[in-house]
Structure 1
Amino acid sequence: MPRRPAARFRPVLAALLCAGITAFPACAPADPPACALIFSTNDTHGRLLPAEQSWSEGRPVGGSAALAAYVARERSATPECPLFVVSGGDIMQGTPISNFTDGRSTIEAMNGIGYDAAAIGNHEFDWGVDVLVERIADADFAMLGANIYLKGTDRHPDWVRPWTIVERDGVRVGFVGATTRSTPVVARPSLVADFDFRSISDALDRYIPEVRAAGVDFVVAVMHEGAFCEIGLPEDAADACRGPALEALAAATAPFDYAVTGHTHSRLETEIRGVPVIQSYSNTMAYGLGRIDRSAEGVVGAQRLGVRQAWADEIAPDPDVERLVASYSAEIAAIVDRVIVDLPEALSAPRDGDFPLGRIVADAQRHASGADVALMNNGGIRRSLPAGPVTFEDLFELQPFNNMLVRHTMTGAQLLRTLEHSARGGDVDLHASGIVVRYDPGAPLGERVLEVTFDDGSPLRPEGRYVVTANDFIAGGGGGYTTFAEAEVIDPLEVADLEALVAYLEAQPQPLPIPRAPRWIAVPSGP
């Protein structure tokens, strides 16, 4: 059997074989070595100013001017590799400095930082498509949604770009972007009713070949879809990290070189088929950094350089971005700095369950609407509150969506089905005011609520009639809450959730009494 040529003779043989026949594929000139740095954020939610966090021990974290400075630092640290800046989406909604301008201030700050691309997040739709289209026009970077289609068609809306290519220092990187398929549930349904949010893996398989055919060195998948890693497990352990973003990437057959995710506000550092996947918490608290290389032999490999904390006191802020943010901040200072309430202790906001901060919000909505019951979704409670003086800005960031309150006259049976839907995941995702619910998280779906008692001690009667207040997100079907639409009377109020909360807190004794008694009481069955 002939032996393969020794490695030291292969270049000589290749040169002899390819002399004068460069049209033969194996003899075509190889692409030169190349590299790219990928600087990523996700879920910045209009966080243009640095802020202290509950874990930061009084130190300021994040903000646009600090991020711009970190971009410059990382770029100068590796000058041989051009740096590209990308976001995993949900960029604008969440703070007064951004919301009061319908996100214009955020887009200007991102332009100043030098973003190249961003996935469209579900909260990009919060102010309606017309505003989103305006912000897309304002952006110096591409906002991408390869899986967003006009409902029932195979066409994208005119304002959606599935991919973009950015060239810097001779290196061309293609970005293919996508949006969480849960958008019709986690966004206000009426705002996205004209669109389908289809398979992310199908979108990647459709457009990555198109991007490669356009001529790129590397392809980056960027999506507003997320995952979580189990704390304490090594990230390369089987099933250490799970979630729909990883499922979509694993299902895609078209090869990509790096992936940036978002939506779950988590730290994610893992791999899919050896390709790095990253997510960097939220609210500009951190950024992700990775590197993609192509060798002289044409082999492409990538590595995560880590999720890095964006301490605002460790770096001199970018002066241009700092001036921009300061000008917007000055315009709203008189409104946002006003103290509303004094808290005797810090109040946390877990992702699920029944907790004091959520009870306070639900109490405020019942007080504002005069209802028998108020129900507040956990997803609308966006931050914790510190002990001591709490400002309007703090409360705005707690409830930034300007959801309006809606009163419903419902039967007891309809209210019961609504509560069952809250308990569908084992834990609950609604806060209640006016009732106490006992439930079995392990019982079959639809049979978990055991008992509902009103504040006056009376039980819920299926045939009874009750006035139930909810915000217009869940009242409109958000979160899968369809029973509100079945109410006998639906009465939209001219009261926003934040307005109700501010009025309620200002009317309470100071410091604020904390409602500690649980309103959802788990009663597990079995041994």
Structure 2
Amino acid sequence: MAKLSTSMLLLLCLFVLSVSATPIQTVDDDDAVGENSTSTFFNLTVLHINDIHCRFEEANKFGGACTAQESADGKCFGGYARLVHQSRHIRQQNPNTIFLSAGDFFQGTIWYTIHKWKAVSRFGNLLNLTAMSLGNHEFDDGVDGLLPFVEAANHPVIAANIDTSGEPRLHGKIPKSKVIEVDGRKIGIIGYLTPETSHISSPDGVQIFDEIRGVREEAERLKMEGVNILIAVGHAGYHKDVQIAEQVPDIDLVVGGHTNTFLWNGPAPSTEEPTGSYPTLVKQPSGRNVPVVQAFAFGKYLGNLMVTFNDDGEVIATAGLPILMDKTVPRDPHVVQELAPYREEVESLAEKEVGKTLVFLNGSRSSCRFGECNLGSFIADAYVNLFTKFAGPGQWSKVGIALLNSGAIRSSIDERVRNGSITYGNILSVAPFPNTVDVVKINGETLKKVLEFSVQDYDPSALDPLGGFLQVSGIQVVYDASRPKGDRVVELLARCNNCRIPVYLPVEPKEMYDVAMSSYLAGGGDGYKLLKGNIIEHTLTGMLDADTIINYMGKMSPIVAGLDRRISFVNGNDKSFCDKIGEGIGSETSGSMGVTVTPTVLATIASTITRNVDPQGSPAYSATSTVPQPSVAAITAADAM
């Protein structure tokens, strides 16, 4: 078998060491240069990003807004200022550098809600990208939102598997590929986009067909034109990236996005767990190995791959690792200055009203982590509502049920503050994590196991209850926590979505269910590894749960959300109603509004509850209500006042 010549190997090592200390990975020994060969190497540095989702400024380790304290402590990552600095620095060191984006600049933070494509274009152009593929979120505001971005971009926006004939405004605006020349070598960059975009975004008249077909046809065309280095960059997910690498014979490298996949070699530098090696080498039927890369998301990492080609355009070696954009990476001062006026508008939006409530929206730990709470139910309902616009034939919604881990609910909303006005700031206090609302397909057996896990460690006397207890929409579940773990679901009904009149039907083990939930839960968060391991199909929307809640609040205002026995316990083995009275918000600050409520509790409880009512409207007032047994998830005294 042919070997790399000593001189060529030395040159390759010098190339790699000039940028990274990672070892050389030989890709194709059969294509390597022999000892007496006169062939020359062509070295190319490929910088890449994907799924930035409007993290214009640095974010915390989870992709959420970085607080002043976190920034001061050096616990924040990414931001355009760091990306601009680091990409410029690498380009100065290595002129043979290209910079690619695999899509989804749009959507994901309040910055996009306010500034839309204008901010994305302004700061995206500062990166001086070589090319960018479309992402599904680039269509979130339809062609009206995409067209001005494409026209303002200083780089090509590409996709080989779309048909714009139904959208004349985009005619000629989005090419299939871009051919560039680097150090005398022609490089073809081919874009692709997931067809799921038609179901999870708003592409209007744009038709999206199979990615592999689109990339293959364009690769064949470019090869015929003498372009022998071909790179696919696209937004369809790691699994599809691997398929393209395997099934498109002419492709030399695949740069992907959409699934926020973290690839790494060795111990991970932060909180992300690697899905595979960087790069992932995919063997084609011919024996060629094709590297596949992604760079997680949110600009936390800058993908950094060094690729060596022979004269025939074949990859013979790779090296590199993503660069963690932490405090050690300087921020470009010009970009920091440019961000300031945009930030001012973002900060002012925190006080903008997004809805009104006539009732207390209870998000307290003492309620939501022990049973049904009305804020948890409302958020889960918002998840289902998001997918009504994607309903297929015979459906009223793409999904009829939703699950929400109670740990995602971080505060309550008090209807007595600001006369029930709900602000952006309130919502970000309730849902501060950068979770998106996803859809997973699971069978009924898995759904039941997931709900069993919800009460696996249920302890009514716990002082620090776990956040894995699930709030639900479209589910009616009865638990008996006195039974053995794994056998506590006494009854389980799910709402149909393929029906003209939504009804609750017994969950069947082999039946398939589409379930809306947060990306955190779908990824196995709060210990739900059994869920992650049994997902049959996972659809990413990229829609933030905070935005989903805001949209639903606008639709439902004024809000009157109550308790409707979605979650029940038998044998009195849940935390009793008596125990819950006075907890909830007894010493809790409601949201970010700075109001502490300390209610006076005047109640006695048996099978009935009597509350004393003050006709002047003080916290203790008189009325009588009956609580049926078995008990259901209860509200606090303050919740009811």
TM bracket (short chain): 0.5 to 0.7
State how 1:156-305 maps to structure 2 within 5 Å: 157-168=171-182, 170-187=184-201, 191-192=202-203, 194-216=205-227, 218-227=229-238, 243-253=239-249, 255-268=250-263, 269=278, 270-273=280-283, 274-295=289-310, 300-305=315-320
Aligned residues of 1:37 and 1:84 also touching (Cα < 8 A): yes
Measure, in 2, the Cα distance between the counterparts of 1:502 and 1:208: 52
The higher radius of gyration belongs to: 2
State how 1:98-497 maps to structure 2 within 5 Å: 98-150=112-164, 157-168=171-182, 170-187=184-201, 191-192=202-203, 194-216=205-227, 218-227=229-238, 243-253=239-249, 255-268=250-263, 269=278, 270-273=280-283, 274-295=289-310, 300-311=315-326, 313-336=327-350, 359=377, 361-362=379-380, 391=425, 394=428, 426-427=446-447, 432-433=472-473, 435-437=475-477, 451-452=492-493, 496-497=551-552
Give the TM-score of the pair, scaled to structure 1: 0.61
Aligned residues of 1:92 and 1:98 also touching (Cα < 8 A): yes
Q: Which amino acid aligns with 1:136?
A: V
Give the TM-score of the pair, scaled to structure 2: 0.51
- Cα drift, residue 214 of structure 1: 4.4
Measure, in 1, the Cα distance between the counterparts of 2:299 and 2:45: 19
Aligned residues of 2:62 and 2:433 also touching (Cα < 8 A): no
In structure 1, the partner of 2:619 is: none
Instruction: Give the stretch that moved more between structures: 112-121 or 286-295.
Output: 286-295
Aligned residues of 1:39 and 1:83 also touching (Cα < 8 A): yes
1:99 aligned counterpart, secondary structure: helix
Say if 1:302 and 1:135 are closer, same or farther in 2 by CA, change over 3 A: farther
Q: Larger % of strand: which?
A: 1
Measure, in 1, the Cα distance between the counterparts of 2:312 and 2:130: 28
Q: Which amino acid aligns with 2:212?
A: S
Q: Which has the higher contact order (CA 8 A, sep 6+)?
A: 1
1:132 aligned counterpart, secondary structure: helix
- Cα drift, residue 397 of structure 1: 7.5
Measure, in 1, the Cα distance between the counterparts of 2:297 and 2:402: 18
Say if 1:178 and 1:363 are closer, same or farther in 2 by CA, change over 3 A: closer
Q: Which amino acid aligns with 1:256?
A: I
Q: Which amino acid aligns with 1:251?
A: Q
- Cα drift, residue 83 of structure 1: 1.5
Aligned residue-pair number: 401
Say if 1:362 and 1:216 are closer, same or farther in 2 by CA, change over 3 A: same
Measure, in 2, the Cα distance between the counterparts of 1:180 and 1:91: 15
Aligned residues of 1:344 and 1:512 also touching (Cα < 8 A): no
Aligned residues of 1:358 and 1:376 also touching (Cα < 8 A): no
Say if 1:394 and 1:31 are closer, same or farther in 2 by CA, change over 3 A: farther
Aligned residues of 1:54 and 1:386 also touching (Cα < 8 A): no
Instruction: Give the stretch that moved more between structures: 216-225 or 200-209.
Output: 216-225
Say if 1:83 and 1:359 are closer, same or farther in 2 by CA, change over 3 A: farther
Structure 2: any 5+ residue segments left out of the alignment?
6-37, 264-277, 284-288, 355-360, 366-371, 386-395, 414-423, 452-469, 480-489, 505-515, 518-537, 540-549, 563-583, 592-631, 634-641
2:115 aligned counterpart, secondary structure: coil
2:47 aligned counterpart, secondary structure: strand
Q: Deviations over 1:125-178 (max 9, x none)?
A: 11011211111111111111111125899xx95432110123355454321000
- Cα drift, residue 120 of structure 1: 0.7
- Cα drift, residue 249 of structure 1: 2.6
Measure, in 1, the Cα distance between the counterparts of 2:220 and 2:136: 26
Structure 1: any 5+ residue segments left out of the alignment?
1-6, 8-29, 228-242, 346-353, 368-372, 403-418, 440-448, 455-461, 468-472, 481-494, 518-527
Say if 1:314 and 1:359 are closer, same or farther in 2 by CA, change over 3 A: farther
Aligned residues of 1:364 and 1:501 also touching (Cα < 8 A): no
Say if 1:33 and 1:103 are closer, same or farther in 2 by CA, change over 3 A: same
In structure 2, the partner of 1:44 is: 52
Aligned residues of 1:339 and 1:392 also touching (Cα < 8 A): no
Measure, in 2, the Cα distance between the counterparts of 1:257 and 1:162: 17
